Amino acid sequence: MPPIIKADHDLIEKIIGIKNVIKEEYRAQHSRPWIIGFSGGKDSTLVLQLVVESLLEIPRSERKRPLHVIANDTLVESPIVQSYVDSILEMLKQTLSQLSLPIDIVKTTPDLDQTFWVNLIGRGYPAPTRLFRWCTDRMKIRPTTNYIKQQVSESGEVILLLGVRRSESAARAASAKKYDNGDRLNRHNDIPGCLVFRPILELTTDEVWEYLAETAPPWGGVHQALIELYRNAAGGDCPIVIDPDAQPSCGSTSIRFGCWTCTVVDKDKSFRNSMEKGFEKLEPMADFRDWLKDFCYKDDANRMKQRRNGQDGIGPLTFQARKTILNKLIELQKQVGVLLISSGEIKRIKEIWRTDTSQQVLNQANRLLKLLGETNGK
């Protein structure tokens, strides 16, 4: 284990105890693969570091259990954070294989048909709100869950390691309590064949930061970039999410890392705070996000008067509104020099527009026939 220079004795004892549990579970007499949910935030970084350190402390001949590190990219992550996460993933790929560790590094993304822009610009879903948060399931839960289910299909059962801590928030504590059955491994509530392992459950936030600040990661470098990310944003991270009931960081009132398009929060202070720390060129993205929320909800002219199922009521964005958003997004992409929407997404959006146009004509025809029938009946 890399030396801890300033950490107090109690923390050292806690860390040793956690690593002993990790090693004991890794050496258990079964072959269930391990999957570490890695968001790039402090908690998932600590879990990954403690696991790697633990494996390096056991003989190479015992490092047989496969381990997958899975990170999720919603494709609308803050470029500041995603650039950092990608750099860590690349470092892990280059380093861990040299350490004779059986670890695969995986990044999941939403299906093309379920990306943020395909749903918003293509199908006309208005920007997410607390009451209509359609994004988390499609962009975070499904990609990660699908990967876990694939590993379950291949291996029978898997063990998912999460950086959940009771002291992080009341919501996290409530989420953690769902898996408190007195055992080290708990059945996942929604994924058959998936067991949940939470090695840092009882650590405090201060203890997490103390260990990361004083202990270099086994894959090289230091955690200064991570510390600067948090310092600049003054907030938390959107974690790997595999539970529909455990989504506190996405759209919470706390300062946070997450999607730059997030309209669930009133003001994305984290993103704007980061822009004041050397990322000024991204300010138009924050302005676009604020405009998008107002555009979707403050002018009824931007919404259809019929829902997608054909019923009367406030419906999706009008085709003109969708075209306006797409044009402004493409202009924004040119302005900031960051890929914000892919050519594949634009192609899929236009396919949906053609289908929706045909359906709209059919709905209007059916409504007219119904009115004619009612008139003739009188």
Query: Tens place of pLDDT for every residue, the chain, 378 residues?
Result: 344 445 578 899 999 999 999 999 999 998 899 999 999 999 999 999 999 999 999 999 999 999 999 999 999 999 988 999 999 999 999 998 888 899 999 999 999 999 999 999 999 999 999 888 999 999 999 999 999 999 999 999 999 999 999 876 444 445 555 555 567 899 999 999 999 999 999 999 999 999 999 999 999 999 999 988 888 776 455 555 555 544 444 543 343 568 999 998 876 666 666 666 667 888 999 999 999 999 999 999 999 987 776 677 888 999 999 999 999 999 999 999 999 999 999 999 999 999 888 766 556 556 656 656 655 555
The reported pLDDT for the residue numbered 377 is 55
Q: Is residue 67 within 8 Å of 97, Cβ to Cβ?
A: no
The reported pLDDT for the residue numbered 367 is 60
Q: Give the Cβ contact number of residue 331 at 10 Å.
A: 12
pLDDT, tens digit (0-9, with 9 covering 90-100), for 138-152: 999 999 999 999 999
Specify the long-range contacts of residues 167-175, CB closer than 8 Å, at least 24 apart: 167/203, 167/204, 167/205, 168/43, 168/205, 168/236, 169/248, 169/254, 171/246, 171/248, 171/252, 172/246, 172/248, 175/243, 175/245, 175/246, 175/248
Q: Give the Cβ contact number of residue 153 at 10 Å.
A: 10
Q: Is residue 288 within 8 Å of 260, Cβ to Cβ?
A: no
The reported pLDDT for the residue numbered 171 is 47
The reported pLDDT for the residue numbered 183 is 79
CB within 8 A of 173, min separation 6: which ones?
166, 167
Question: One-letter amino acid identity for 340?
Answer: L
The residue behind tokens 């359609």 is 134
Measure the CA–CA gap between 267 and 252, rounded to whole angstroms. Answer: 11
The reported pLDDT for the residue numbered 170 is 47
The reported pLDDT for the residue numbered 313 is 80
CATH architecture assigned to 9-275? 3-Layer(aba) Sandwich (3.40)
The residue behind tokens 């943020």 is 116
Measure the CA–CA gap between 339 and 150, rounded to whole angstroms. Answer: 30
